[in-house]
Structure 1
Amino acid sequence: MRIKSEIWVKAYLRSCQGRGVAAVVVRRGDESAGAIYICVNRLDRTVSLYGPAPAGLDGGDSERRWVQCFSAGVVAEEEAASYLARQIKFDSDIWIVEIEDRAGRHFLGDAIAEE
């Protein structure tokens, strides 16, 4: 069983802040099961965006797994904002968390899945 989205987000925010990195909830989603998107703002008008990995990956039933939303990795802020707006139209329960890190670190560890 996967932990609730709200609890995961709170823990992620603490983890980032414990490393001295600013992290905020840009959009609050469903507290129990909302999909979570992590936006890494590099403070140069570019971002990396991570979203939920497709269902069926190893460990996906109990652990959250992530994929990069853009094959290029880093995109303009506007492109990421447009992508997230489309995701909100599809699922209004999503969470969006933004961290600011010039080095582009996501702090998701080995939870990044390869597609």
Structure 2
Amino acid sequence: MRITTDLWAAALVRRVFGSGGFAAILKRGSSEAGAAFVLSRNRLGELALYGPAPQTSYDGSRPNERLFVRIGEGQMPEELEKRLEKEQRFDPDIWVVEIESGSLPVEDLILLAD
């Protein structure tokens, strides 16, 4: 059984703070099933946006995990905000979590699809 997005986002925030980073939930969607997006800011202020991986990326042995793909990097913050607005028009229940990862790289905080 897959955990709720609400619990997943809270756990991500906790892991980020535990690694010496900073995290904030910018947008709360449906607590049960909203799609999650992660906006990652590095120490230089550069942004990367991660969104849900396509269904074809999921492995049958781990169907309940949340996988992400990088959908934007090195763009201006306004461009990434426009992308998130577009996603929200498509699905008003999305979640957006912004992180500054601290001592752990983003790849250790969220699962990236191959």
**Structure 1 length normalisation: TM-score?**
0.85
- Structure 1 residue 99, shift from structure 2 partner: 0.9
Counterpart of 2:59?
A: 58
CA distance in 2, matches of 1:5, 1:21: 21
Q: Does the CA contact (< 8 Å) of 2:29 and 2:95 recur in 1?
A: yes
Counterpart of 1:67?
A: 69
4+ residue segments displaced more than 6 Å: none
Structure 1 pair 110–33 and aligned structure 2 pair: CA distance change class (3 A):
closer
Q: Does the CA contact (< 8 Å) of 2:68 and 2:110 recur in 1?
A: no
Query: Structure 2: any 5+ residue segments left out of the alignment?
Result: none
CA distance in 1, matches of 2:16, 2:104: 12
1:61 maps to a residue whose letter is P
1:67 maps to a residue whose letter is V
CA distance in 2, matches of 1:104, 1:74: 20
Q: Does the CA contact (< 8 Å) of 1:41 and 1:104 recur in 2?
A: no
Counterpart of 2:10?
A: 10
CA distance in 2, matches of 1:80, 1:103: 24
Moved more, 93-102 or 39-48: 39-48
1:58 maps to a residue whose letter is D
RMSD of Structure 2 on Structure 1 (CA): 2.3
Q: Does 1:20 align with 2:20?
A: yes
Structure 1 pair 86–37 and aligned structure 2 pair: CA distance change class (3 A):
same
Identity of aligned residues (%): 34
Moved more, 29-38 or 51-60: 51-60
How many residue pairs get aligned? The number is: 112
Structure 2 counterpart SS, 1:29: coil
Structure 1 residues 29-88: Cα deviation after superposition (integer angstroms, max 9, x where no partner): 100000000001236553100011011321562100010013xx3322111111000000
